[in-house]
Amino acid sequence: MDETKPIQYPRATAGRGAYAGRRRGSAFVCEFAWQPPTFNGRLGACHAAELPFVFDTVDEKGLAGLTGPTPPAELARDMHSAWVAFAATGDPGWPAYFAAGVVGAFCG
């Protein structure tokens, strides 16, 4: 499996966060599971670690304290592409949660 591409899998708990969008339109759920090597990996897949990937800015020097010296650029391109597609078309590249119970996951 290519771990830089979003994988799709069912996840029961993800539906809780997506529930608000159910009545007005489609809800898409994304899980970012890449773990930065900084702080000896103790941060895990921490809050806000996904932001340099969402905006494809992982090579910004000021972010190395969070992402480490060599974050996966391909993961950043793939995640950024999904967010841009969602902003432009309303489709991130995987099925809506309530249509299939699927989560798009970026693992790196």
pLDDT of 15 higher than 80: no
pLDDT tens readout for residues 65-84: 999 999 999 999 999 999 99
- Arithmetic mean of pLDDT over the chain: 79
Three-point CA angle 22, 13, 39, nearest 5°: 120
pLDDT band at 31 (very low <50, low <70, confident <90, very high): confident
pLDDT band at 101 (very low <50, low <70, confident <90, very high): low
Total-model pTM: 0.74
Q: Are strands 29-32 and 102-106 parallel, antiparallel or unpaired?
A: parallel
Predicted local distance difference test score (pLDDT) of residue 1? 42
